[in-house]
Amino acid sequence: MIDKITVKNDTEIMKAKMTLHGEFSIGETDKRLYGSFIEHLGRAVYTGIYEPGHHSADGNGFRNDVAELIKEMNVSVIRYPGGNFVSGYNWEDGVGPQESRPVRLDLAWGTKEANRFGTNEFAKWAKKVNAEVMMAINLGTRGAQDARNLVEYCNFPGGTYWSDLRKSHGVREPHKINLWCLGNEMDGSWQICSRTAEEYGRAALEAAKVMKWTDPSIELVACGSSFSGMPSFGSWENTVLDHAYDHVDYVSLHTYFANRDNDVPNFLGRSMGMDQFIKTVTGICDLVKLKKKSKKTVNLSFDEWNVWYHSNESDKKVEKWIEAPPLLEDIYTMADALAVGCMLITLLKNADRVKIACLAQLVNVIAPIMTEKNGGAWRQTIFYPFRDASIYGRGAVLRCPVTVDKYDSREFCDVPYLEAVGVHNAEKKEITIFAVNRNLKEAINLEAEIAGFGKVSLVEHRLICNEDLNACNGIKEEKVKPVVQSGGSLEGEEGGMRLNVTLPPASWNVIRLKVCG
Ligand code: AHR
């Protein structure tokens, strides 16, 4: 139990202590920790990133207003084309002359896919938004043969059937796609042609072999469990890695939070479960490493994470078999921004093993960016914590112990009221503390000991808070956005400095420090 201090107007403030030391770090963040996801689902592609004829569209039909917002988020890698969609996708349908591409039924989402946008359009668009491509192959209805063909089409320089086909489609230079997902959520009964762990482990291994023989420079992500509540969670990873360990580089994790009963303390505590999920999968990877006496470490790709529940009911009413219907269009709240903040901090705290992470998704579909067909684009509440972390959360993640009161929620015991982490960017000479105050009623007075960096100065304390935890943004108004807070102090000398800041109830905080030396 930590003391409480009393401020002038007699309101109690909870106290928290944190230590940041330049010599104690968990590891460096991978550039790809701030990734996202575009699936052929709802309006993510059509009327999202791609809308020929839109007033902001470039010559390729890519919306410039949306591209600018994505660049603002500093997204490093984007997964494509699914998701559940990929398990029924023929990639060949999406290349070549647009007028001869087939219209297909997408059984994953009950829609029509016209294939006006495909692999080459996506690779070109990803360049426009300065992001790397993370390409998923279909291991549902298809397998190794189609996967190796796609690698050859995308990455082989020329002089073979598939690479020359690419050239004949007007793409002379290979796309050089480095990161590939071996299917999607193959353990899920909802997946087109799901598989048992044995079946998937074998299929992933054989696809991995021929894909890497085609291009040895690529990296591969094997499907882990669809979420930690799957009955086969744990044994799935174990079996799949037993087969494929030597041929894959990452195993995937997916998580979506919901707050259906509006129990915000419990909702915000869910990141504790996410942390446990990461630790468990890390343990399984290392157990298989031990069993195989391997020198190689398989790391984690958290390639779907977000809040998803607002649209569940309205999605049931959406007409089937139409093109690009409004699906999964969650409108996010202030509470959701806090949950996303807790998830970002959890990813950072595990940056030694989580090398890739994708906020699912990016535009219109459970997304930080929304668009109107023929209209504008706007930032949801969750846009901002992601943007803050992606801009300021790169570098060495500090191992920083936090002491603060804890609470028990419906699902979790001992949830700290303060979720926080620090990141040191040596190149930019910056230290940034990210902190969520999970206390919905009381402010937290944070005292941070900062040592091992020399003298530091306080640049700014940015924060997001709104007393109304249901507040949302829209095209006309942003009720949830960062403001700069005054009032923090930083005292001491080179040997050790002490930061003192107040974190309002239910807030996302970014405290930026400059290393002076
Ligand atoms: O992101 C939406 C869906 O969630 C994806 O298609 C699937 O992989 C997951 O179940």
What is the Cα gyration radius of the chain?
Answer: 23
With beta carbons less than 8 A apart as the criterion, state whether 42 and 97 touch: no
Task: Name which residue sits closest to atom 9 of ligand 1, judged by CA.
Answer: 83
Ligand 1 touching residue 82 (CB < 6 A): yes
Res 9: pLDDT? 53
pLDDT at position 37: 98
How far apart are alpha carbons 224 and 235 in whole angstroms? 10
Q: Is 66 helix (H, G, I), strand (E, B) or coil?
A: helix
Active-site entry in 185, 237, 419, 442: 185
pLDDT value of position 387:
98
Cβ 335 vs Cβ 58: under 8 Å: no
Name the pairing type of β-strands 489-493 and 496-503.
antiparallel
Question: Is the Cβ atom of 184 under 6 angstroms away from ligand 1?
Answer: yes
> 307 forms bridges with which residues in the sheet?
257
Q: What is the pLDDT of residue 493?
A: 84
Q: Which residues have C-beta within 8 Å of that of residue 308, sequence separation ≥ 6?
A: 256, 257, 258, 328, 330, 360, 366
Pairing of strands 35-37, 354-359: parallel
Low-confidence ranges of the chain (pLDDT < 50): 1-3, 5-8, 10
In a mutational test of the pocket of ligand 1, which residue from 36, 254, 359 has the highest number of ligand atoms less than 8 Å from its CB?
A: 254
**How many helices and strands, by DSSP H and E, does the chain display?**
10, 27
Query: If you measure from the C-alpha of residue 376 to the centroid of ligand 1, how many angstroms do you get, rounded to a whole number?
Result: 26
**Cα 104 to middle of ligand 1, angstroms:** 20
Nearest-CA residue for ligand 1 atom 6 is 83
User: What is the torsion angle, in degrees rounded to the nearest 10, for the CA atoms of residue 128, residue 108, residue 299 and residue 219?
Assistant: -50
Eight-state DSSP code of residue 446: E
Q: Looking at 121, 132, 237, 304, which residue is catalytic?
A: 304
Angle at 324 between CA 320 and CA 325, to 5 degrees: 50
Instruction: Tell how far the Cα of 512 is from the centroid of ligand 1, in angstroms.
Output: 35
- Does the annotation count 304 as an active-site position? yes
How far is C-alpha 203 from the chain's CA centre? 26
Residue 237, φ and ψ in degrees, nearest 5:
-60, -45
| CA-37 nearest atom, ligand 1 | 1
Continuous H helices in 350-483: 383-392
Cα–Cα distance measured from residue 166 to residue 99, given in angstroms and rounded to the nearest whole number:
17
Q: Which of 190, 393, 197 is nearest to 284 (CA)?
A: 197
**Residue 372 among the catalytic residues:** no
Please tell me the predicted confidence (pLDDT) of residue 517.
75
Is residue 8 classed as helix, strand or coil in its secondary structure? coil
**Of the candidates 505, 395, 355, the residue with the CA atom closest to the CA atom of residue 20:** 395
With the most atoms of ligand 1 within 8 angstroms of its CB, the residue from 37, 39, 86, 301 to mutate is 39
pLDDT for position 150: 98
CB distance 16 to 417 below 8 Å? yes
